[in-house]
Amino acid sequence: MKPPDWVRFVPASDQSLLVTVGEEIAPSVHERLRKLLYLLEKERLPAVGNLHPAYCSLLIRFNSLATTHEELEGDLAPLLARLEEVALPEPREIEIPLHYGGEFGPDMAELAEMHSMTPAQVAEMHSSAVYTAYFLGFTPGFAYLGGLPEALATPRLPVPRRSVPVGSVGIAGNQTGIYPSSTAGGWRLIGRTPVPLFRPAEQPMSLLAVGDRVRFRPICL
């Protein structure tokens, strides 16, 4: 079976295959990715291990003593061919309370100035958009949220912070995200949420999942 023409297979290592389902960050590409992830989580293929989803691609790790890149591509072709028919669960809508600016958003003033706006205007614009959780990556529970208004797109900090406080909300390029744990990070911080993003002892562990629709509601901490 021939896979659809929008699929590209690249061996990323001797034990992993990178399946690219489109060449741009776009809702249509994201839907394919969600459907492929959904199928693979539901119908486990033999020898397949960890799955690493991203914007336009899924990295599939596998046991190379049990299968090969070519065999895996063959196993994936029928799944890819029926992606159109997959009915995904309705995306969940998640509202996240967010304190904008001040001590909780150390980069807010500079970011606002870069866009010739006031911090209040940035907060207004950031909280009026509906975001999509494209994928979780980087660290446990970190969701890459797409749908940032073009006017707020800002490059990363030239030098990343050594430590970003838990719950910080940042902007990097045309994406926004929330730090579930305290890690190093180069996103520009505009605020902080008191809501825990990742709780390993609970089900589900992560507040956000791939495909969720996310809104921020301004609060005062």
Candidate list 72, 108, 190, 210; residue touching another protein; CB under 8 A:
210
Mark the segment that binds another protein (CB under 8 A) among 18-26, 72-80, 81-89, 124-132. Answer: 18-26
Mark the segment that binds another protein (CB under 8 A) among 96-104, 147-155, 163-171, 198-206. Answer: 198-206
Q: Which residue type occupies 160?
A: P
Please return the burial class of 102, using the count of CB atoms within 10 Å of its CB with bins 0-12, 13-18 and 19+. Answer: middle
Residue 153 binds another protein, judged by CB under 8 A: no
Positions in 65-124 near another protein (CB under 8 A): 65, 68-69
Chain centre to alpha carbon of residue 175:
9
3-state secondary structure of 48: strand
By C-beta, is 65 or 87 nearer to another protein? 65
Q: Answer yes or no: are the C-beta atoms of 17 and 11 closer than 8 Å.
A: yes
Q: State both tokens at 30.
A: 């994201």
Mark the segment that binds another protein (CB under 8 A) among 82-90, 123-131, 146-154, 199-207. Answer: 199-207
Residues 6 or more apart whose Cβ sits within 8 Å of residue 126: 100, 148, 149, 152, 171, 176, 190, 216
Residue 1 binds another protein, judged by CB under 8 A: no
Residue 53 binds another protein, judged by CB under 8 A: yes
Where in the chain does DSSP place strands (E)? Answer: 8-13, 16-20, 48-53, 57-62, 93-100, 131-136, 143-146, 161-164, 168-172, 175-178, 183-185, 188-192, 213-218
Candidate list 37, 45, 94, 166; residue touching another protein; CB under 8 A:
37
Mark the segment that binds another protein (CB under 8 A) among 9-17, 72-80, 94-102, 124-132. Answer: 9-17
Q: Which residues form the interface with another protein (CB under 8 A)?
A: 10-16, 18, 20, 24-25, 37, 41, 49-59, 61, 64-65, 68-69, 135-142, 144, 181, 183, 198, 200, 205-206, 210
